[in-house]
Amino acid sequence: MDSAFAEAAQHAGDRLTCKEGCTQCCHGAFVLNQLDAMRLQAGMNALRETDADRAREVAHRAQMWIVEHESTFPGDSGTGLLGSSDEERARFEDFANEAPCPGLDPETGRCDVYAWRPLTCRIFGPPVRMGEGLAHCELCFTSASTDEVAACEMVVPFDLETELLEEIASSDETVVAYALAG
């Protein structure tokens, strides 16, 4: 995934404005599959080994996020698993849309779990095929033509991700805070 992003960034040049400290995409809850949750949990374990203070701060932000949003969580707020009913899915559309990600250090604007970030975070920014069209960060490619945007498309290697998801055989979904809180 990182090499696909690097290749897209090379093609995009200065039209891809993503950089450390830009936190536009670090707000709002989004669905995590169990593979992403496992990555984040492995990252927290590694962080506890290398920087225990930072790991405690990330875990604290995750716990505070859960406390703030658990009353409206569209699923089981005890386990952090998102609900699958039509009503719960509809409620998720308006859930915690402005909340900063607990992985985001509010003082530095850096992601404290960047190396273990979810797939959604890894592909945000460059143009990515979504259905029939290309989607990209609204801050990027602001003066680029449709052809220029298309020339910078990030080809996402979803096959490996799909294989790994099939191996863990779990359709459970959660959000970043619950994965970080472990």
**Cβ-proximal residues to 67 (8 Å cutoff; 6+ apart), any chain:** none
- Give the bridge partners for 82, in sequence order: 75
Structure pTM? 0.85
DSSP element (H, E) containing 129: strand 128-130
What would the pLDDT profile of 131-154 be if each residue is shown by its tens digit? 888 888 888 888 889 998 899 898
What would the pLDDT profile of 67-108 be if each residue is shown by its tens digit? 999 999 999 999 999 999 999 999 999 999 999 999 999 999
Q: Report the 10 Å Cβ neighbour count for 134.
A: 17
Q: What is the largest CA-CA distance in the chain?
A: 47
Q: Tokens for 63, please give them.
A: 């716990």
| DSSP track, 111-161 | BTTGGG--HHHHHSSS-EEETTEEE--TTSSTT--HHHHHHT-----HHHH
DSSP element (H, E) containing 165: helix 158-168
**Cβ-proximal residues to 165 (8 Å cutoff; 6+ apart), any chain:** 33, 34, 35
